[in-house]
């Protein structure tokens, strides 16, 4: 190969490499997230085995029966661990409280810079879990469920959006940001499957309808 062409190819390759680096440098910061849920195919396969069960009663339910935001390590409780995990450039003080950082709420696409604007959502709400089988659990098991960092059960989101969700299942509420709905229902099914919680008929239909479009 003539030297001039070799030099030209080398220059083009260098320019391409620099362009790639520039694109990477300008790319948005990757958002932290809960543990990855099961795939849509796995969620559909599990739902196919589920016989719907009528939802139980809320009688006797209290959030106090699901001790949450327990200490995880040092001065850090579950809420602070999730805020650190789900945020970007999160700075914590000596008591583990998040004093600065940035959080992207997957439910509505909003970005926040104050931890006070965020709730930690229980993917499967505590009251929903109670009606789906957790009423028969020990308090120790309910505590594990309410502080589960291993499954995709906890996520930092805009506080008023979480409050709009309340204790509704996917038949009654889905994230307003439609791009996240596939992930949301995969998370929901993952948590219900792992914890052996029942699924009612309307809930199964809603989950299946979303998953069929994933």
For 41-64, how does the pLDDT look when each residue is reduced to its tens digit (9 = 90+)? 999 999 999 999 999 999 999 999
Tokens of 192: 């219900």
Sheet containing 111-112: give its strands across: 87-92, 98-104, 111-112
Q: Answer for the pair 43, 211: CB distance below 8 angstroms, yes or no.
A: yes
Name the more confident of 31 and 107. 107
Binning pLDDT at 50, 70 and 90, where does residue 33 land?
confident
User: Rounded to an integer, what distance in angstroms lies between the CA atom of residue 114 and that of residue 42?
Assistant: 36
pTM: 0.85
On the question of pLDDT at 29 being above 70, the answer is: no
For 149, which DSSP code?
Answer: T
Phi, psi angles (nearest 5°) of residue 20: -60, -40
CA dihedral for 39, 208, 171, 111, sign (positive or negative): positive
Q: Of the ranges 1-10, 14-23, 103-112, which is most confident?
A: 103-112
> Is residue 21 pLDDT above 60, yes or no?
no
* 28-42, 59-73, 86-100: segment of lowest average pLDDT: 28-42
Q: Please say whether the beta carbons of 203 and 170 come within 8 A.
A: yes
The pair of structure tokens assigned to 208 is 């299946």
pLDDT at 31: 59
**3-class DSSP string for 86-117:** HEEEEEECCCCCEEEEEEECCCCCCEECCHHH
> Residue range 121-145: average pLDDT?
98
Q: What is the pLDDT of residues 196-209, one digit of tens each?
A: 999 999 999 999 99
What is the distance between the alpha carbons of residues 158 and 86, in angstroms, rounded to a whole number? 12
Q: How is residue 173 written in tokens?
A: 């509420």
Mean residue pLDDT across the chain? 89
pLDDT at 70 over 50: yes
Question: What average pLDDT does this structure show over 118-135?
Answer: 98
**Residue-level pLDDT at 32:** 74
Instruction: Give residue for tokens 């791009």.
Output: 179
């Amino acid at each position: 190969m003539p030297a001039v062409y070799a030099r030209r190819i080398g220059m083009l390759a260098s320019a391409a490499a620099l362009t790639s680096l520039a694109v990477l440098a300008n790319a948005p910061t990757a958002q932290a997230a809960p543990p990855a849920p099961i795939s849509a195919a796995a969620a559909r396969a599990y739902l196919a085995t589920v016989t719907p069960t009528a939802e139980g009663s809320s009688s006797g339910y209290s959030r106090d029966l699901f001790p949450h935001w327990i200490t995880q390590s040092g001065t850090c409780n579950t809420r602070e661990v999730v805020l650190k995990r789900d945020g970007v450039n999160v700075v914590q003080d000596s008591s583990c409280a998040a004093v600065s950082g940035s959080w992207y709420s997957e439910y509505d696409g909003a970005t926040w810079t104050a931890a006070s604007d965020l709730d930690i959502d229980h993917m499967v709400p505590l009251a929903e879990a109670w009606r789906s089988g957790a009423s028969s659990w020990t308090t120790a098991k309910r505590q594990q469920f309410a502080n589960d960092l291993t499954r995709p059960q906890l996520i930092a989101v805009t506080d008023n959006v979480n409050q709009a969700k309340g204790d509704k299942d996917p038949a009654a509420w889905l994230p307003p940001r439609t791009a996240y709905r596939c992930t949301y229902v995969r998370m929901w099914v993952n948590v219900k499957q792992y914890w052996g919680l029942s699924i009612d008929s309307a809930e199964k239909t809603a989950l299946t309808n979303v998953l069929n479009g994933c």
